[in-house]
Amino acid sequence: MLTEVKTNKELKADPVFGQLSFDDHEQVVFCSDKDTGLKAIIGIHNTTLGPALGGTRMWAYQNEWEALNDVLRLSRGMTYKSAITGLNLGGGKAVIIGDAKTQKTPELMKKFGEYVHSLSGRYITAEDVGMETSDMDLVREVTPYVTGISEEKGGSGNPSPVTAYGVFMGMKAAAKYKFGTDLLEGKQVFVQGIGHVGEALVENLVEEGAIVTIADINQERLEAVKSKYGVTIYGGNDIYSEQMDIYAPCALGATINDDTINKLQAKVIAGAANNQLANEVKHGQLLQEKGIVYAPDFLINAGGIINVYAELEGYNKAEIMRKTENIYNTTLEILNHADVNHMTSNQAALALAQKRIDARKLENNS
C-alpha cells in the first residue's frame, strides 16, 4: 500500500508524450516483473520501412525519467540509422534499468524476452551496452524476435567488430574530407570508451598507424587494452581541451554539449556512441562554425545493425563487410552534400534518411 502521495508540483503533466525526446513514437512499452526484478522500457519509433530493430541496453540509470529519455532518443536514432543504410527496418530500442554486472540473471533476460515476444515481431531486439551474445541466446529461448545470437546457434555473433569497422570507415571518410587523405597514420586519435566496440576500433587504428590515446571509467579495462595494443592511457582531467586530430566518443551519448563544445580542440569527430550531440541543431551548428567535421553517429555506427540484419535476410559475412565498408562512401556523400547545401552534416544525414522513409510511406499509402 502506498504511504506517500506525490504533490502536484512533483508530478509531470505529460510524462511520455510531453518528453522533449518524444518524436511521434508509435509505441512505448513499460515492462515490470516483481519475481525477476525486471524494469524495462521498449520504444518503437517508426515501422514504415519494416519491423523496429534495435539493441537492448542495461544501465543503472539515476531515475526512470533518464531511462525513458534514453530509450526515446535511441529508438529514434535507429529509425534513421536503418533508413540511411538502406535497410528495410524501422527504429526501436529497449532499456533495462539495473546494474548489468550485479542484477542481470538468466531469469530476468528470459522474462524480458517474453515481453519482446508479446509485441509479435513489431520489435526485434539485439545486443547493446551491458549485454552479451549469451544474453541474446537466452532471449532466443522464449522468442524468435531477437538477433545477434551466437554463431553456434545460427546467428551472426558479436556485432561489435563490424560496428567498429563501420566507425573506422566513417572516420577515414571524414579524414579524407578534412585533411585531403584518408590515411590515419600519425594522426592523434582519442578514443573515449573502451567497451567491445571501442577496443575493436583501437585495433583498427593501431593497425593503420594512428597514435591512439584511450579513456574510460574502468581502469582495469584501460590497462588491459594498453597492454594488448601499446596505446596511451589518458591521464588528464579534461579530454575535450586536449590537442588532437580526431575525437572518437565510444561510450554513452551527449558528450558534445554546452559544457564541452567550446573546449573541443579536435578537427574531426567520429565515434561509435549514439546521440553524441546533446542538441542536434544547436551543437551541430556550433561544430560547423568551429570548422570541426562531424561524421553523423547514426550513419557511421550502423555496422552492427548491418551485421544482425544478415540474420533476417540471410546474406553472408562477405556481404556484411561490403555493406559496412560502403559507410565510407555514404559519409563522404553526406559531408559534400552538407557543404554544397549550407547545412550541417547531421541535418544532411537526417534529410537523406527522412527522404527514404517518406518515399516508402507514399508507396505504402498508394
> How large is the average pLDDT for residues 108-135?
96
The answer, yes or no, to whether residue 4 has pLDDT greater than 80, is: no
The answer, yes or no, to whether residue 356 has pLDDT greater than 70, is: yes
- What are the sequence ranges of the domains in the chain? 27-76+89-153, 160-354
Strands, E assignment, the chain:
27-33, 38-46, 52-53, 56-59, 90-97, 123-124, 188-192, 211-215, 232-233, 246-249, 268-269, 293-294
The answer, yes or no, to whether residue 48 has pLDDT greater than 50, is: yes
Domain 27-76+89-153 matches domain 160-354 at the CATH topology level: yes
> How large is the average pLDDT for residues 79-83?
96
Over the stretch 20-33, which tens digit does the pLDDT of each residue have? 788 899 999 999 99
The 3-state DSSP class for residue 192 equals strand
Dihedral sign from CA coordinates of 41, 93, 162, 249: negative
Q: How many CA atoms lie within 13 A of 84 on its CB side?
A: 32
Binding site for NAD(+), by residue number, is 193-198
The closest of 18, 74, 64 to 43, measured between CA atoms, is 74
Question: What predicted TM-score, i.e. pTM, was given to this entire model?
Answer: 0.89
Cell numbers given for 312: 533476417
Structure confidence at residue 2 (pLDDT): 39
> How large is the average pLDDT for residues 218-245?
97
Architecture of domain 160-354 in this structure? 3-Layer(aba) Sandwich (3.40)
Cell numbers given for 214: 584511450
Structure confidence at residue 23 (pLDDT): 84
Q: DSSP string covering 337-351, please?
A: HHHHTT--HHHHHHH
CA distances from 245 to 102, 179, 225, 264, 266 (A): 38, 10, 21, 11, 5
The answer, yes or no, to whether residue 19 has pLDDT greater than 90, is: no
CA distances from 120 to 52, 142, 224 (A): 11, 12, 42
Cβ proximity of 117 and 145 under 8 Å: yes
Binding site, by residue number, is 193-198
The closest of 77, 61, 67 to 25, measured between CA atoms, is 77
The answer, yes or no, to whether residue 6 has pLDDT greater than 70, is: no
Over the stretch 93-109, which tens digit does the pLDDT of each residue have? 999 999 999 999 999 99
What class does CATH assign to 27-76+89-153? Answer: alpha beta
Q: Which residues does the annotation mark as catalytic?
A: 93
The answer, yes or no, to whether residue 323 has pLDDT greater than 90, is: yes
Structure confidence at residue 159 (pLDDT): 87
Structure confidence at residue 59 (pLDDT): 96
d(CA 366, CA 364): 6
Structure confidence at residue 7 (pLDDT): 42
